[in-house]
Amino acid sequence: MTGTDAAAASLPADPVLSIHALAAEHAALVRRLRSAQIPQHVGMAAACRALAVELPRVLAAQVDAELQSGALAQRWAAIRAAAAEPGASELTALALLLREQGRAAMRHLLLREKEWAADAYRLEGQAGALEATIERLQRVAADPAGAASEAGR
């Protein structure tokens, strides 16, 4: 048996049933994309946007409060004692470093938000393409003779 004969033997007897099955498979993929994956990506993108705004402010407020209350100085003293490093003037450098860390976290979250949003748009495009394929498959399944005559033109 040649490769063409083997492929022909593996085809189901009714191609319309195969088309319906393929259309149903595509419809299930669209449902999964629209009900779970796309909303999940949109939600993650929104969460990243919110965190990108909130996180640096919260970190800066925490650093400022700990700097004014003396808690940061106490931590710094403990770190200095443990590391035996002189120079209390480095406390300001640490506060600036922590603020920069907040800005870096914001940049990272904004980048992730853009990636998740792009993924959501890509998935939406994929769902639209699948829906178009489903529509064509359903037209072919509804009128196999008409579709064959159109394909021959």
Average pLDDT value for residue range 32-58: 87
Whether the Cβ atoms of residue 30 and residue 130 lie closer than 8 Å to each other: yes
Tokens 């993929």 identify what position? 29
pLDDT of 77: 74
Structure tokens at 98: 């922590």
**Higher pLDDT pick, 131 / 72:** 131
For 60, 85, 96, 118, 122, the CA distances from 109, given in Å and listed in that order, are 16, 34, 20, 14, 20
pLDDT of 1: 47
Task: For residue 102, give the nearest of 40, 28, 52, 64 by alpha carbon.
Answer: 52
pLDDT of 101: 79
DSSP code at position 88: T
pTM, entire model: 0.54
